[in-house]
Amino acid sequence: MAVPVPWACCAVLAAAAAVVYAQRHSPHETPHVQYERLGSDVTLPCGTANWDAAVTWRVNGTDLAPDLLNGSQLVLRGLELGHSGLYACFHRDSWHLRHQVLLNVGLPPREPVLSCRSNTYPKGFYCSWHLPTPTYIPNTFNVTVLHGSKIMVCEKDPALKNRCHIRYMHLFSTVKYKVSISVSNALGHNATAITFDEFTIVKPDPPENVVARPVPSNPRRLEVTWQTPSTWPDPESFPLKFFLRYRPLILDQWQHVELSDGTAHTITDAYAGKEYIIQVAAKDNEIGTWSDWSVAAHATPWTEEPRHLTTEAQAPETTASTTSSLAPPPTTKICDPGELGSGGGPSAPFFISVLVTLALAAAAAASSLLI
């Protein structure tokens, strides 16, 4: 029925695609890559065409309005990031591709931020950097490390591209390290440097595997254990000291304990029944700065099992078994005599029986007097 029509349609589309492809991938024309500064104005000439040549400009395949043209040149004012793209100019009548420009709008780099740290003392240290604001175009970084006048190798990190590693050859050096970084892109370049002593950049990773546990039968205690960070290579010769902080979730005020050795501590002043948050930090015993806080551990101190309400008949058996194992609660009120006898069972019947007995005794006494 209508079969030949879709076939013809496909053929036309295929032909159009071929023409566009030929125009875009003309064998003698590879795009000229151009970088321009954000906010600036740029004039793109159409290759070697005369100023008065009749051309049409396109960006990413979309036609551009003729009012942007100055003769055969494309004028773009106040460049924005959205202006980045593939610009092509064609001879107006023949649609012959004259010139292509791959325009990248970006910024020159600002001063990079560089920092170095040794979390693996005494093995070495690493430096990492970043730009405070993006440039939107590719940047290359170059890092040099000087120890006095000696150049040291900074090995690139296998995973992170803005980090490199330096190995200490000598320890206990009085000469400072100077790390310089320069960054450049097509629009400009910048640099910075930092100088430091071996000892000042030592900062371990936070302690690992922080675990907090309640202590059975101790409603105000929490036992905390942790491990030295696995990145610290030699805790025997370079021992770490630790700083523990804890608070109940419902309060903002932290409590602190500094521990000169050991990887365990028992908190003895926890509020009963409140959930706690606990963190630990580490520092070399003598040099450097404290690590960041560890991942938080949560725990609630041990609390006794709540007593269930029971009927009168059951009261003597249940209470007889519990009184022997429980420590008296801190808010023990004065026992009334009824509780002593039946251990917490309802006391009213006992009182009534006492009263009745007394009443009977009084009545008996009164009657004996009367007689």
For other proteins, what does the binding mask look like between residues 239 and 268, x meaning CB under 8 A? x-----------------------------
Check binding of 9 to other proteins (CB under 8 A).
no
Tokens in use for 260?
């000169």
Q: Smallest distance from the beta carbon of 190 to other proteins, in angstroms?
A: 20
The residues in 163-222 that bind other proteins, with binding defined as CB under 8 A, are 168-176, 178, 195, 199
Q: What are phi and psi of 62, to 5 degrees?
A: -100, 135
For other proteins, what does the binding mask look like between residues 219 and 238, x meaning CB under 8 A? --------------xx-xxx
Nearest residue (CB) to other proteins, 178 versus 245 = 178
Residues in binding contact with other proteins, number by CB under 8 A: 24
Please name the helix (run of DSSP H) or strand (run of DSSP E) that holds residue 215, with its range, or none. strand 208-215
Compute the distance between CA of residue 241 and CA of residue 224 in angstroms, rounded to an integer. 15
The residues in 280-319 that bind other proteins, with binding defined as CB under 8 A, are 285-287
Distances (CA, A) of 284 to 194, 230, 256, 261, 336: 23, 14, 18, 11, 60
| Per-residue DSSP letter, 346 | -
CA atoms within 13 A on the CB side of 305: 6
Identify the bridge partners of residue 240 per DSSP, sorted by sequence position: 284
Whether 238 contacts 204, CB under 8 Å:
no
The residues in 75-134 that bind other proteins, with binding defined as CB under 8 A, are 122
Q: Smallest distance from the beta carbon of 211 to other proteins, in angstroms?
A: 23
Tokens in use for 166?
């330096």
The residues in 131-170 that bind other proteins, with binding defined as CB under 8 A, are 148-149, 168-170
Compute the distance between CA of residue 304 and CA of residue 216 in angstroms, rounded to an integer. 9
Q: Smallest distance from the beta carbon of 144 to other proteins, in angstroms?
A: 15
Compute the distance between CA of residue 36 and CA of residue 137 in angstroms, rounded to an integer. 10
Nearest residue (CB) to other proteins, 237 versus 311 = 237
Q: Smallest distance from the beta carbon of 126 to other proteins, in angstroms?
A: 17
Nearest residue (CB) to other proteins, 106 versus 122 = 122
Residue numbers of the site for other proteins (CB under 8 A)?
122, 148-149, 168-176, 178, 195, 199, 233-234, 236-239, 285-287
